[in-house]
Amino acid sequence: MSLGKAERRPRGELARVLVVDDEADIRELLDLTVARMGLSADCAATVAQARQLLEQHRYQLCLTDMRLPDGEGLEIVRLIGERYGETPVAVITAFGSAQNAVAALKAGAFDYLAKPVALDQLRSLIKSALSLPTRSGSSEAGQPSGAAAQLIGESMAIAQVRQMIEKLARSQAPLYVSGESGTGKELAARLIHDHSARRTAPFVPVNCGAIPENLMESEFFGYRKGAFTGADSDRAGFFQAATGGTLFLDEVADLPLLMQVKLLRAIQEKKVRKVGSTVEEAVDVRIISATHRMLKDCVDAGSFRQDLYYRLNVIELRMPPLRERQEDVEPLVAALLVRICGAQPPRVEAAAMRALKAYSFPGNVRELENVLERATALCSNDTVLIDDLQLAPVMAVSDSVGRDGETLDDYINRVEKQAIVEALTKTDFNRTAAARLLGVTFRSLRYRIERLGIEE
């Protein structure tokens, strides 16, 4: 195989793959694998050759080594991102070089492979890259283009989220979704999955805080028959259930440290070992994680591993709280009322709508839905009045924020604490009832009580 000139086959309508590696045997391996999949490959040994080929042809995928004689694979990743945005690029890293893999993903790489290259993982990566929808929208006829159909609102904050979702759907990088309870973190994760190359495979959501610690390993990785008392047959875990798709780890900060170590290895090696098994098996999943807590604070407190944090938080998507996009309240109200009441929802009087727009919604969209469900049950004459909303006046944003030098965070913490104390007082400090009254989960309320230092 010549290094000076890229090798070509008759292509016709075959999809093209650009292979960039300075090792002839690696190029040959990748070239043969691509050919056996019915594709066409151009091969380059240097960054300069890759640049020339990119100028001459349009590629459906680029596979590049990280270290090249005249530069770094990251140069190719950035070049393709800037000039050839429709072409996904995957990097090939040295075994155990997690730092290089993370750097490539942050630079915009679609995915990565570790040397020695496993052919099953290579074929899976190629299939995923070739099935990516175009940036103009979904590749399936009749499907809505982009995430606009499910993320309601026209505020700048939600528009930025939609743009990020469209971009992140074209990557395989681990993703961390941050935001308060009720902001739609799982919805965002589902939208990313639904618009990605993995959309035909399972989306598996897991609440990490709801699994008993002694069952975590078997739930995540599965177990073999006889591994422990009651293991009557082989069973797949969450990783196996999400094969080819997306594993959504909600409340990932609740994972115990021992499980964090095992999760880190599974992400780095793309392999898991069932409980009771002596061999590891390859898994092909994309990890999206989320928590309402500040994960960096958990790292600083020593309750969350820093190395796992950096592997999960390759790219962060922040879901804005409802108080930062109050112009979206009215369209959200209209959509939620249709969901609650059907095609003929009640009318919301002007004063009630003004009150909703002025409310800070500590429980965000989930709380708004809760408020509307209550209001539609209480209203009469098909009109929601301000009294039907039963909003706490202390939560109004119209109160003087920043008074006496108070920051926005201080103000939000103060009114949130006041609302929680009032709810606890009304329910005789029954936390379950108080959470229901506030429209948040029990776990969320418990976290807020601890964070704000509220004592009974």
The number of beta carbons lying within 10 Å of the beta carbon of residue 425 is: 10
- pLDDT of 427 reads 82
Give the H/E segment covering residue 336: helix 329-341
Angle (CA) 188 192 196, round 5°? 170
Report the Cα–Cα distance between both ends of the chain, in Å, rounded: 75
What DSSP designation does 32 have?
A: H
Would you write out the chain's pLDDT as a tens digit for each of its 456 residues? Answer: 333 334 444 444 578 999 999 999 999 999 999 999 999 999 999 999 999 999 999 999 999 999 999 999 999 999 998 899 889 999 998 755 677 788 888 888 988 888 888 888 899 899 888 888 765 544 343 343 444 457 899 899 999 999 999 889 988 889 999 999 899 999 999 999 999 999 999 999 999 988 988 899 999 999 988 888 887 888 999 999 999 999 999 999 999 999 999 999 999 888 999 999 889 998 999 999 999 888 988 998 899 999 999 999 989 999 999 999 989 999 999 999 998 998 889 999 999 999 999 898 888 999 999 999 999 988 888 899 998 998 865 444 444 444 455 566 677 778 888 888 888 888 888 888 888 888 777 777 887 888 788 876
Domains, the chain, ordered by start: 16-130 (3.40.50.2300), 156-318 (3.40.50.300), 322-452 (1.10.8.60)
d(CA 174, CA 176): 7
What DSSP designation does 359 have?
A: B
Angle (CA) 240 303 285, round 5°? 20
Q: Burial of 231 by CB count in 10 Å (0-12 exposed, 13-18 middle, 19+ buried)?
A: middle
Burial per residue of 1-39, b for 16 or more beta-carbon CB atoms within 10 angstroms, e otherwise = eeeeebeeeeeeebbbbbbbbbeeebbebbbebbeebeb
- pLDDT of 60 reads 92
Helix, strand, coil distribution of the chain in percent, nearest 5: 45, 15, 40
Q: Which pairing describes strands 61-65 and 16-20: parallel, antiparallel, or unpaired?
A: parallel
The number of beta carbons lying within 10 Å of the beta carbon of residue 422 is: 16
Please name the residue ranges forming H helices in 169-256. 185-194, 216-221, 238-241
Dihedral over Cα of 22, 24, 25, 27: its sign: positive
The number of beta carbons lying within 10 Å of the beta carbon of residue 269 is: 16
Whether residue 249 contacts residue 294, with contact meaning beta carbons closer than 8 Å, is answered with no
Q: Which pairing describes strands 383-384 and 271-272: parallel, antiparallel, or unpaired?
A: unpaired
